[in-house]
Structure 1
Amino acid sequence: MHDLVKLLEKKNLTISSCESITGGAFSEALVKTEGASKVFRGGLIAYSAHSKVHLARVQLTTLQSFGAVSVETAIEMAQNAKNLFDSDMAISFTGNAGPENYENKPLGLVYIALAYNNKCLVYEYQLSGNRKQIINKCVKLTPELIKENLK
């Protein structure tokens, strides 16, 4: 995370997050990094469908049509966090860390969305491991994903 914070600071960019599957693990890792206060606007944990609709402003029709674990939900989470926190970019995490299938979607299916420069890119991963391992993998993937999009 150190390299990510330094890069955002160098480029004078701010970031925010909207987390479901990671439950705040990304935000926690970021704020443990020296200099995070210069680049991190804030994070929202929208774990339940209720919080996705009422706090993260995901459309109820999106959840009903595509589910919480979907490209569409990840996009709305990221775009709405970017607007809510007035940040230059926002990252969102939604997926299924188990122990069972959720919404008939496989264990380890994860969507990470990055809203930046008037676009939103979504990355789909099929991760293995237990809940903790899947969450940790999501967080570890994120700095490189963001850095690649800033090049």
Structure 2
Amino acid sequence: MTDPDPIVDRLTDEGATVATAESITGGRLAARLTDGAGASSAFLGGVVTYATEVKISLLGVPEALVDDHGVISAECARSMAENARSLLGATYGVSTTGVAGPDTQEGQPVGTVFIAVAAPDDTQVLELALDGDRSEIQAATVARALSALGDMMDAVGRSSAGRAAEHSGLG
């Protein structure tokens, strides 16, 4: 049995949960989150919405958003993360969308990736320009998505500490 990913330990320690909405990573992010023992305490589930129509029909990405911005966009990544979080009732939603190659998509070059992390009160989106072949781009996307989740957890923790200080008269 493998050890849990440190982010899973952290989610568990904080009593938080995560859900995923993946396109470019094809389920690799969910697989990474569930690779070790104890993952069920933090990972609620995920959806792989590789096809555009599934992003719309299953995940609830607005068709007008796709028409206006495409699926390889910050706007789509944001919608995917927020809808995964809501759909699965998780503390955090993490999404991945982009172009792994070998060809461009929606006029975007290979290696263009958008990652979004939705928290209860905020959503952050990263745009990446990654190098490598298909599997390298997918692996780098998973690693950056986990890092982005950790960053969001840090931000939520700082925000919560600030609110606690305000309410205690310390802020």
SS in 2 for 1:57: coil
The superposition leaves residues 77-97 of structure 1 with CA deviations (integer Å, 9 ceiling, x where unpaired) of 000000100000100000001
Normalised by the size of structure 2, how large is the TM-score? 0.86
In 1, Cα distance between equivalents of 2:152 and 2:65? 26
Query: What is the CA distance between 1:143 and its match in structure 2?
Result: 2.3
What pairs with 1:9-48 in structure 2 (closer than 5 Å)? 9-48=12-51
Contact 1:2 1:34 in 2 (8 A): no
Contact 2:5 2:32 in 1 (8 A): no
What pairs with 1:2-151 in structure 2 (closer than 5 Å)? 2-151=5-154
Structure 1 portions without partners, runs of 5+: none
Aligned residue pairs: how many?
A: 151
SS in 2 for 1:28: helix
Contact 1:21 1:47 in 2 (8 A): yes
Query: What is the CA distance between 1:116 and its match in structure 2?
Result: 0.3
Identity value in percent: 32
Query: What is the CA distance between 1:117 and its match in structure 2?
Result: 2.5
* Bigger mean CA deviation after superposition, 81-90 or 1-10: 1-10
In 2, Cα distance between equivalents of 1:19 and 1:59? 16
Contact 2:5 2:35 in 1 (8 A): no
- Give the counterpart letter for 1:99 in structure 2: P
- Give the counterpart letter for 2:31 in structure 1: E
The superposition leaves residues 105-133 of structure 1 with CA deviations (integer Å, 9 ceiling, x where unpaired) of 11100000000032110001000111111
In 1, Cα distance between equivalents of 2:39 and 2:45? 10
In 1, Cα distance between equivalents of 2:36 and 2:126? 24
In 2, Cα distance between equivalents of 1:135 and 1:120? 22
SS in 1 for 2:125: strand
In 1, Cα distance between equivalents of 2:67 and 2:145? 28
In 1, Cα distance between equivalents of 2:27 and 2:65? 23
In 2, Cα distance between equivalents of 1:144 and 1:112? 11
CA RMSD of aligned residues (A): 0.9
